[in-house]
Amino acid sequence: MWKQVLVVFLAVAVFVAMLPVREATTSPFASPAFEQIWLRDQNGLLDLWGQGPLAWRLEPYADAPSGRRLVQYFDRGRMELTSEAGSTRTLVTQGRLAWELTTGQIALGSDLTARRPPPDISIDGGSPDPRVPTYAALARLVGQPATDRTGWPQPIDQWLTADGTLRTATPPAPVRMGRFVTTTRHNLPDVTVALFDRSPLGATAWLETFGYPISEPVWAYYRRGNVAIPALVQVFERRILLYFPSLPADQRFTVANTGRHYYRWRYGSEPTAPWPAPLPGTPLPLDVPTHFRAGLLLDGVRDPIDLALAPDGNLLVLTVSGTMLLVTAEDSQGRASRLTTFASGFLAPRGAVASGGWVYVADDRGLIRLRDDDGDGIADRTELLPLDLRPLPGPAGAPVVDERGRLVLAATTTDAPETPLLYVIEDRRASPLGPVPDHLARLFTWGELLLAVTQAEGEPASVLRLTASEDPSASRPLLDFPPDVVLSSGIVYTVPLWADPIPGTWLFCGTRNGSGVVLRALPRSDAQSAELAPFVTGLRRPVALAIGLDGTIYIADAGTGQVVKLVPTLRSSR
């Protein structure tokens, strides 16, 4: 069975080999596909990206496998390596950054957003100037449908100021409306129509590059160098197009640096760092391997039982009392600086997991899903799924999700309360997968593999691979633990950013001889066994693990009421 596991391990290793080389002083291309798009667009009529790639990240995206996707920022846009859950096809998409900046909605999935005010950043990136509009000012224009003005003799004469005020004044050039886009009900100026109809954009290819227009064109001032000159400004979904009638013909069109401005708005820093740099929080005296730093994210948490990443990538902490906390911000050390109560009132909760924009919690009532629609860190919708499932007691009844977005739950039903089964939950329906292994302690997944930690009282723990075609009692353990280890949870490290841990590392938490410990395991080259080694010691009673998008390892220690961070520092050689 290790051979099947090793296949997944090697596939992840191939993906890691495609990541950027480590010691770059500027950001390399995060994917060859990104570089191909960038090179393709170098011969166009417009500079759509800027001089070269900036920061790349793994960002949360509910529709992507494992709820995350690889993105890279450029001065003038963002490229995204996108594939839908359950699909093997991957394509490069371009972020709708201008739409997000002017609506204040950060896209976390095709129908999931987090909201924050549009930024008071000048669209030219300079210091505040009463003549130069900000993204917050442009927000007043966005989403206001217009009438078809093609054929009108009157030139465009609306001017926009920094505070969003519109006034009528003499235009610097007689530009008129040339086309009406019925999809969003906005007009395109005749000069823009002429640009879009020229090669290489063509009649429809401009949609891929710009998206649909989401505002009317207006005049405003925009600084080229240090000089503010009149420009015709129009917001599209992906970019902001600017036309300068006073410049030479080959310099009249440009696009704003929405990629750089968006990154500054979303992350509070410039997108110049070529590699993520997670912070460990307040240092803790734990024994950790070389190239790791351990610290405190959060303390004073009474009886934590599970950790999960929310759809926006922030950490959720579930407690025995039925409260779920959400860490929404960290301070300059990396310690939690802002918390919300995402939800409360769960009855004997077993565990939590996020999938497809929802957070799922199993408790005495069954499987509950929750969703934060307005991005304030508090669940707006709560629904008990009508499944007639009773999750197994304790962590054995915690839900898990695989790479395809399928939920798996160990539970019984009203009709068969003595027959626990594994159920796959898709589209609000539950289908039996197979029997629950004896002495199940906790389920976890790796890709599409379903794995189980089993341990009878007083007996050594084991890890099994579960399938629909095989009785778990007949399965040969993938991994056996020493008899002095009592396990609470397991997880697979899959973030391809760091040399240690490498993707495919298995992490387990629990106690050893009564002391808290995190162990790690990797398949050996013989594909028949795994090497088990201590990873973190000095804990008291760790009960749950989670992996952040930046590779941070989170550990919930119920013995101290703390959530610990373990931050890797050794970058991958690729």
Q: pTM score, two decimals?
A: 0.86
- Edge-first strand order for the sheet with 304-309 is 304-309, 315-319, 324-330, 336-343
- Average pLDDT of the segment spanning 50-75: 89
DSSP state of 467: B
What pLDDT does residue 334 have? 95
Lowest mean pLDDT among 22-26, 148-152, 205-209: 22-26
- 162 versus 20: the higher-pLDDT residue is 162
pLDDT at 294 over 60: yes
| 293-325 b/e (C-beta count within 10 Å ≥ 16 → b) | bbbbbbeebeebbbbbbbbbbbbbbbbeebbbb
Q: Which residues contact 167 (CB under 8 A, 6 or more apart)?
A: 158, 159, 161
Alpha carbons within 13 A on the beta-carbon side of 511: 8
Q: 354: closest CA among 319, 314, 386?
A: 314
What pLDDT does residue 404 have? 83
- Integer Cα distance of 505 and 319 in angstroms: 27
Query: How would residue 64 be classed by pLDDT, with cut points 50, 70 and 90?
Result: confident
In whole angstroms, how far apart are CA 257 and each of 105, 124, 140, 200, 419? 18, 7, 20, 21, 60
DSSP state of 475: P
- Average pLDDT of the segment spanning 434-457: 94
pLDDT at 373 over 70: yes
Q: 286: closest CA among 565, 571, 570?
A: 565
Q: 85: closest CA among 311, 374, 326, 381?
A: 311
**Which pairing describes strands 177-181 and 166-168: parallel, antiparallel, or unpaired?**
unpaired
Token look-up 């909605």 returns 105
Query: How would residue 574 be classed by pLDDT, with cut points 50, 70 and 90?
Result: low
What pLDDT does residue 285 have? 95
pLDDT at 380 over 60: yes
pLDDT at 38 over 60: yes
Q: Which residues contact 485 (CB under 8 A, 6 or more apart)?
A: 460, 461, 510, 511, 512, 517, 519
Residue 547 token pair = 């992996």
- 501 preceded by a cis bond (ω within 30 of 0): yes
- Average pLDDT of the segment spanning 337-343: 97
Q: Percent of the chain at pLDDT above 90?
A: 71
* Cβ atoms < 10 Å from Cβ of 50: 17
Q: Percent of the chain at pLDDT above 70?
A: 91
Query: How would residue 529 be classed by pLDDT, with cut points 50, 70 and 90?
Result: low
Query: How would residue 524 be classed by pLDDT, with cut points 50, 70 and 90?
Result: low
pLDDT at 298 over 70: yes
Please, what are the domains in the chain? 41-267 (no CATH), 282-412+439-568 (2.120.10.30)
Query: How would residue 22 be classed by pLDDT, with cut points 50, 70 and 90?
Result: very low
Q: Which residues contact 11 (CB under 8 A, 6 or more apart)?
A: none
CB 64 within 8 A of CB 311: no
- Integer Cα distance of 28 and 21 in angstroms: 7
| Average of per-residue pLDDT values in the chain | 90
pLDDT at 336 over 50: yes
- Average pLDDT of the segment spanning 350-355: 96
- 200 preceded by a cis bond (ω within 30 of 0): yes
Q: 236: closest CA among 51, 333, 409, 101?
A: 101
pLDDT at 160 over 70: yes
- Integer Cα distance of 214 and 234 in angstroms: 8
- Integer Cα distance of 349 and 305 in angstroms: 8
What pLDDT does residue 231 have? 97
Query: How would residue 203 be classed by pLDDT, with cut points 50, 70 and 90?
Result: low
pLDDT (tens digit per residue) in 239-255: 999 999 999 999 999 99
Lowest mean pLDDT among 18-22, 112-116, 264-268: 18-22
What pLDDT does residue 71 have? 94
What pLDDT does residue 497 have? 84
Q: 423: closest CA among 378, 446, 390?
A: 390
CB 566 within 8 A of CB 517: no
CB 300 within 8 A of CB 282: no
Lowest mean pLDDT among 37-46, 185-194, 377-386, 504-513: 37-46
What pLDDT does residue 202 have? 54
Lowest mean pLDDT among 9-18, 101-110, 234-243: 9-18
In whole angstroms, how far apart are CA 25 and each of 38, 274, 358, 456? 20, 7, 38, 52
